[in-house]
Amino acid sequence: MTSASDRLLDLDRVVAHTFPNGLRVRLYPDRLVPAVSYYTFFRVGSRNERPGLTGISHLFEHMMFNGSERYGPKEFDRVLEAHGGTSNAYTSNDLTAYYDDFATEALPTVVDLESDRMRALRITEDGLEQERAVVKEERRLRTENSTFGLMEEQLESLVYQAHPYRWPVIGWMDDIDRIQRSDCLDFFGTYYAPSNASIYVAGDVEPDATLRLLETAYGAISAGPAAPPVPAGEPCQRGERRAAVRYPAQAPAMVAGFRGPAASSPDSAALDVLQVCLSAGEGSRLKRRLVQELEVAVTASVSWGWRIDPGLFMVFLELAPETRPQRAEEALWRELARVAHRGVGLREVERARRQLRSFVLNELSTHNGVAHALGQAEALLGDWREAGTALEQYRSVTPADVRRVAAEYLDPVRRNVVWLEPEAAR
Amino acid sequence: MPEIHEERLANGATVVVARRPGVPLAAARLQVRAGAALDPPGRFGLAQMVAMVARRGAGARSGRRLDDLVESQGAHLSASADEDAAVYSLSAPVEALSSLLGPLVDLARAPSFPPAEFERLRRRELAALAHDADEPGLIADRAMLLEAYVGHPYGHAVEGRVKDMGTMRRADALAFHRRHYGPTLTTLVLTGPLDVGMALAEARRRLGRWKATVEDPPDWPSPAPAPRRVVVVDKPDATQTQIRLAAPGFPRRSPDYFPAAVANAVLGGGFTSRLVEAIRVNRGLSYGVRSRFAMSRSTGLFTLSSFTKNETAGELVQVALDEIARFRDEGPSAAEVERATSYLAGLYPMSLETHDQWADRLADLQLYGYGLDEVRDYRERVRAVTAAAAHEVGRRRFPADTGVILAVGPARQVVAQLERFGPVRVVPVRRVL
């Protein structure tokens, strides 16, 4: 039984509907702040790409702001801002999400803008060339001139040998150069049809009127073809894999990665708990041992990202310039082995649960956070209701579960390591 | 608007309690007006070190005990500083607030500065500066402060510099705390779905017993405008150049605040600004560009930030300067001002959606000395800005031929492109840190 104080989202408030063309709509009315957050999720990301066309999902995300039938180039954000709103989007391995945050009065305008680009996006050569240049600058910013970006890209290619998660979401530079307008037209026809999309609206809205508004705007858009299946296989890893990034950096750093389970696995929640035990807060294991006691790392962080297919559990360490890399690496393996062999205590798990509860509450404290959580749950887990069950999942995680997932997924045989090796400027 | 109670205690400390509905978390800010502008010469980075080391032990509690107390309840407690203030931030389940308020106040009132923790953090901060050297955007921001505020108390990063961090001693932290931490410079803000009576009583009890007398920090004048010059921080390996433009601005509590917000929204805020259109949309020169008025308590800066491949650094700067000149000459159109004011007014409620956002805003209001009426009437005041007022403030506040243009990139490729904008000086990355 869930107590009232632990009910993160009042799921009874959600009005869920699917139109005949397959478009799914979920509304979450909340009057606390006179604003609305409006998300459109498309079930496409770099996972749906193929070699030679990597980065098309992300490049296409940029194209969505370049004009549609009734709104010319540059109009989307102009109209939205003129109505007191703002928009942005992101592309991940699994999905592409667009959001608009705006003052309540702008809802009809936003529905018109969003439905027009889903129905009749303009895909022009000029628009493609402009966004190609912009995306190349983005890649230079986030990857080629970023030590972490360079390392992360190497790591993903080590962890995944066959699965599409092996290439970066932003794509390889050559592929960004290669994408043609015809590729974009095909991409739009397949992945941006209403049958591959879901809309999440949270905030100061009246559900019945909003549903009618959405039906009028989106109801006549044709459903699309079924998206091609994703080749999701990956051979079993039977030994450690390593790579180095030599770069004119001032200090060494390392990332280690392990292939975890799919988001839908019950182990995902246990890995969340493990992540918190390892690196959330000053009292976490890696911060205490590697940063405070041994001082072999300046920072230590862990990220465990839920994905549709088995995702990546990643540890990132930055070292002081004079620290011997091997010493830091051995200290990290010892800490991971300690959890796998001896496990964690009940109090440690309880501490992690409380931290996760605060984290989830924070996430759900804005309209944007609520709309995003509903969309993310449906995209990764197949059901928006999962957005409200996080705490129950964490409550069921035991110390034995944490030990088991550490032993299973952080097995040294399955680890992947990338070192940043500083070198003199060329 | 939440229900807000503000109270000045007998010792001069300020308490602000704002009750509002929402998720069962509470946000607290303990703010002391002892920021990096008070760093003594040769001790840049001290204000932030004081804040960080205070977090590692206060009252009878060690840092480790504090970590356990805070984190076992699902709370988060951090310490930081900016140029004007040190801030201790707590986010906690609302039921944990009363047990954590005492430890929070102790961080400012009674830090023990454990010697081993001081030395460890000093070493860690030195190593962090080495990693900062590998972040081109970060180097650009730091170098911009140095160059825009030459000789000014705001003219260094809160993180300090390698040579100062190398020689800093615990005695420096003790002296800084003794000289600059006191109740008259301290504000405690509490927000969330909390019990106002309990929160006020607890705040009075914890903060009210702090006895210490300190002087108010002075107000520092703006640096004088100087002819435009160019500084290139040489990063030979970079394939992309980070670009900044900075010129003297104004303090947060300035009558220019609203017209400047609107003028800047047209020039370089949001996604449809003139700069975004000229640099990103029309020319594909960059992924992002924005301008802003960075406002501190005493004064501020106008800044512009972007980045582009090395080959187009000069072109990007030229386009940016042309857009600034065009705004100064022609001003914004009525339609642009209409869009900018709708944008700013429409988004304002979303900047006050969470307890943490409210806590930050209420702490800012105490630090910068503006009133709650600004928060209440923000949308009306933005909408009242006319095109003529935005043009007038743009003519005064957007730089014509003053300020510094700063580039972080390979000097051998970039210098020749930037010489036409003013005299060029090339510095190595280590000079910035």
**Which 3 state secondary structure label does DSSP give B230?**
strand
Let me know: does B310 contact B239? Beta carbons within 8 Å. yes
Query: Which residue's entry shows tokens 């800490």?
Result: A335
What is the spatial distance between Cα A216 and Cα A213, in angstroms, rounded to a whole number?
Answer: 5
Q: Is residue B224 part of a domain?
A: no
Residue B279 DSSP symbol: I
What is the spatial distance between Cα A101 and Cα B428, in angstroms, rounded to a whole number?
Answer: 43
CB nearest A251 (choices: B71, B127, B237): B127
Indicate the angle between helix axes A125-139 and A56-63, nearest 10 degrees.
Answer: 120
B4 has a chain A CB within 8 A of its CB? no
Instruction: Quote the minimal CA–CA distance from A181 to chain B in Å.
Output: 17
Q: Give me the residue spans of the domains in chain A.
A: 9-218, 241-422
- B144 & B285 share domain: no
3-state secondary structure chain A: CCCHHHCCCCHHHCEEEECCCCCEEEEEECCCCCEEEEEEEECCCHHHCCCCCCCHHHHHHHHCCCCECCCCCCHHHHHHHHCCEEEEEEECCCCEEEEEEEEHHHHHHHHHHHHHHHHCECCCHHHHHHHHHHHHHHHHHHHHCCHHHHHHHHHHHHHCCCCHHHCCCCCCHHHHHHCCHHHHHHHHHHHCCHHHEEEEEEECCCHHHHHHHHHHHHCCCCCCCCCCCCCCCCCCCCCCEEEEEEECCCCCEEEEEEECCCCCCCHHHHHHHHHHHHHCCCCCHHHHHHHHHCCCCCEEEEEECCCCCCCEEEEEEECCCCCCHHHHHHHHHHHHHHHHHHCCCHHHHHHHHHHHHHHHHHHCCCHHHHHHHHHHHHHHHCCHHHHHCHHHHHHCCCHHHHHHHHHHHCCHHHCEEEEEEECCCC
> Exposure of A37 by Cβ count < 10 A (0-12 exposed, 13-18 middle, 19+ buried)?
buried
What token pair was written down for A4?
A: 């009232």
**Nearest Cα to Cα of residue B132 among B155, B158, B169, B168:** B158
What is the spatial distance between Cα B159 and Cα B121, in angstroms, rounded to a whole number?
Answer: 12
Q: What is the pTM of this model?
A: 0.95
| Cα angle: B285, vertex A128, A91; to 5 degrees | 85
Beta pairing partners, A10: none
What is the spatial distance between Cα B231 and Cα B82, in angstroms, rounded to a whole number?
Answer: 24
- What's the distance, CA B232 to chain centroid? 24
What is the spatial distance between Cα A393 and Cα B96, in angstroms, rounded to a whole number?
Answer: 23
Q: What is the pLDDT of residues B76-118, one digit of tens each?
A: 999 999 999 999 999 999 999 999 999 999 999 999 999 999 9
CB nearest B309 (choices: A140, A354, A367): A140
Contacts of A307 (CB under 8 A, 6+ apart): A47, A93, A94, A165, A262, A263, A380
Beta pairing partners, B187: B14, B31
- Per the structure, the complete domain to which residue B98 belongs is given by 3-208
B98-107: burial string, b at 16+ Cβ within 10 Å, e else: bebbbbbbbb
Residue B265: closest CA among chain A residues belongs to which residue?
A81
- B204 & B249 share domain: no
Residue B27 DSSP symbol: E
- B62 & B182 share domain: yes
Instruction: Quote the minimal CA–CA distance from A233 to chain B in Å.
Output: 35
Query: Which residue's entry shows tokens 């005064």?
Result: B396
Residue B401 has a pLDDT of 95
Amino acid at B2: P
Residue B429 has a pLDDT of 95
* A 136-175: CB under 8 A from B: 136-138, 140-141, 144-147
Residue A424 has a pLDDT of 79
Residue A261 has a pLDDT of 98
**Which 3 state secondary structure label does DSSP give B14?**
strand
- B47 & B112 share domain: yes
Q: Is residue B72 part of a domain?
A: yes
Indicate the angle between helix axes A325-342 and A399-409, nearest 10 degrees.
Answer: 130
Q: What percent of chain B has pLDDT over 90?
A: 99
Q: Is residue B218 part of a domain?
A: no
* A 225-264: CB under 8 A from B: 247-251, 253
- B263 & B395 share domain: yes
Let me know: does B301 contact B141? Beta carbons within 8 Å. no
CB nearest A82 (choices: B127, B130, B339): B339
Q: Is residue B175 part of a domain?
A: yes
Beta pairing partners, B25: B93
Residue B125 is part of a domain; what is its CATH number?
3.30.830.10
**Which 3 state secondary structure label does DSSP give B44?**
coil
Distances (CA, A) of A154 to A95, A168, B126, B135: 22, 9, 28, 19
From its phi and psi, is residue B63 left (phi > 0), alpha (psi between -120 and 50) or beta?
Answer: alpha
Instruction: Report the relative pairing of strands B240-248 and B61-62 from DSSP bridges.
Output: unpaired
What is the spatial distance between Cα B272 and Cα B288, in angstroms, rounded to a whole number?
Answer: 11
Alpha helices in B274-427 (DSSP H): 274-275, 313-330, 334-347, 355-368, 372-376, 378-383, 387-397, 411-418
Tell me which chain B residues have a C-beta less than 8 angstroms from the C-beta of A253.
131
Instruction: Quote the minimal CA–CA distance from A53 to chain B in Å.
Output: 21
What is the helix (H) or strand (E) element at residue B1, kind and residue range? none
Residue B76: closest CA among chain A residues belongs to which residue?
A281
Q: Where are the beta strands (DSSP E) in B59-143?
A: 61-62, 76-81, 86-93
- B45 & B87 share domain: yes
Q: What is the pLDDT of residues A49-107, one digit of tens each?
A: 999 999 999 999 999 999 999 999 889 999 999 999 999 999 999 999 999 999 999 99
Q: Is residue B423 part of a domain?
A: yes
Residue A390 has a pLDDT of 86
Per-residue pLDDT of chain A (426 residues), as tens digits, is 334 345 678 999 999 999 999 999 999 999 988 899 999 999 999 999 999 999 999 999 999 999 999 999 889 999 999 999 999 999 999 999 999 999 999 999 999 999 999 999 999 999 999 999 999 999 999 999 999 999 999 999 999 999 999 999 999 999 999 999 999 999 999 999 999 999 999 999 999 999 999 999 999 999 999 999 999 999 999 999 999 999 999 999 999 999 999 999 999 999 999 999 999 999 999 999 999 999 999 999 999 999 999 999 999 999 999 999 999 999 999 999 999 999 999 999 999 999 999 999 999 999 999 999 999 999 999 999 999 888 899 999 999 999 999 999 999 999 999 999 999 765
Tell me which chain B residues have a C-beta less than 8 angstroms from the C-beta of A251.
127, 130-131, 134
Q: Is residue B318 part of a domain?
A: yes
- Least confident range from A3-12, B377-386, B397-406: namely A3-12
From its phi and psi, is residue A424 left (phi > 0), alpha (psi between -120 and 50) or beta?
Answer: beta
What is the spatial distance between Cα B17 and Cα B371, in angstroms, rounded to a whole number?
Answer: 15
Residue A426 has a pLDDT of 56
**Which residue among B176, B208, B240 closes a domain?**
B208
**Nearest Cα to Cα of residue A36 among A192, A209, A195:** A209
CB nearest A145 (choices: B71, B239, B338): B239
Transcribe B169-222 into DSSP letters. Answer: -HHHHHHHHHHH--GGGEEEEEEES--HHHHHHHHHHHHHT-----PPPPP-PP
- CATH code that applies to domain A241-422: 3.30.830.10
From its phi and psi, is residue B188 left (phi > 0), alpha (psi between -120 and 50) or beta?
Answer: beta
B125-150: burial string, b at 16+ Cβ within 10 Å, e else: bbbbbbbbbbbbbbbbbbbbbbbbbe
Domain A9-218 has CATH 1.10.3720.10: no
Q: If you average pLDDT over residues B43-71, what whole number do you get? A: 97
What is the spatial distance between Cα B267 and Cα B324, in angstroms, rounded to a whole number?
Answer: 7
B341 has a chain A CB within 8 A of its CB? no
Indicate the angle between helix axes B46-54 and B115-132, nearest 10 degrees.
Answer: 130
- B142 & B191 share domain: yes
Q: Is residue B117 part of a domain?
A: yes
Q: Is residue B213 part of a domain?
A: no
Distances (CA, A) of A158 to A167, A239, A240, A275, A302: 10, 11, 10, 21, 18
State the total domains in chain B.
2
Amino acid at A102: F
Tell me which chain B residues have a C-beta less than 8 angstroms from the C-beta of A366.
350, 353-354
Q: Would the CATH topology of A9-218 be identical to that of A241-422?
A: yes
Residue A5 has a pLDDT of 44
Distance, first Cα to last Cα, chain B: 43
Instruction: Quote the minimal CA–CA distance from A280 to chain B in Å.
Output: 9
Let me know: does A254 contact A290? Beta carbons within 8 Å. no
Query: Which residue's entry shows tokens 């140029």?
Result: B83
What is the spatial distance between Cα B312 and Cα B314, in angstroms, rounded to a whole number?
Answer: 6
- Residues B355, A365: C-beta atoms closer than 8 Å: yes
Let me know: does B54 contact B81? Beta carbons within 8 Å. no
Residue A425 has a pLDDT of 64
A-B CB pairs within 8 A amount to 190
Tell me which chain A residues have a C-beta less than 8 angstroms from the C-beta of B23.
361-362, 364-365
